[in-house]
Amino acid sequence: MIPHESDVKEERASLKVWRSWQENLILIAIALCLAFFIRTFIAEPRYIPSDSMLPTLHTGDRLVVEKISYHFHPPITGDIIVFQPPAELQRRGYPKDQAFIKRVIGQPGEVVSVASGKVYLNGQPLAEDYIAEPPNQPYQPVKVPEDEFFVMGDNRNDSNDSRYWGFLPRENVIGRAAFRFWPLDRIGFI
């Protein structure tokens, strides 16, 4: 029996549709793998949930957090970093996967204190043109341990930071806040 020409055309059309679906599924799988790789190792978006970083960052801001640079050098004073909560915050009920965002104030070996409305680093007042208002509570001098950081929010009087829960281990650092992409009227590098 000789196949009809219409049957051959239908078979070719079915094969063409199947190949198209197959190609689309492969492209989707590749896109998902790339997205997973980029988010895990290179950069990821984050949402600012509180006012602790005012006036630099506002509630609702959306950022890109880059994850590469800290593989080559540690965070430096002034960097705005995103991190997983340290053990003390987890003991207080914060989930391990809830990200925090603060500014690095002290690096390992440095001494941080707060007095008379100023933050001091190694006995010298920091020039902080980025804070909402001067801190209203003193904080006795502390030396930052090796592989840890002292972090504070820019909204000094409304920030759950190292003054209340201690030092941030380097291993908890996710990355550096690099770019604000929302809202559009404040888009730009941080």
pLDDT in tens, 147-171: 999 999 999 999 999 999 999 999 9
Calpha distance 137→113 (Å, rounded):
10
Span 106-134, average pLDDT: 97
Give the helix ranges, DSSP H, for the chain: 5-41, 87-91, 162-165
CATH number given to 45-189: 2.10.109.10
Residue-wise pLDDT for 98-115, tens only, equals 999 999 999 999 999 999
Domain segments of the chain as ranges: 45-189
Residue 37, phi-psi category: left (phi > 0), alpha (psi -120 to 50), beta (remainder): alpha
Whether residue 8 has pLDDT greater than 70: no
pLDDT score, position 52: 96
The three-point CA angle 190-63-35 to 5° equals 130
Residue-wise pLDDT for 9-48, tens only, equals 777 777 787 887 888 888 888 888 877 777 777 889 999 9
Contact between 63 and 180 (Cβ < 8 Å): yes
The residues carrying an active-site annotation are 52, 102
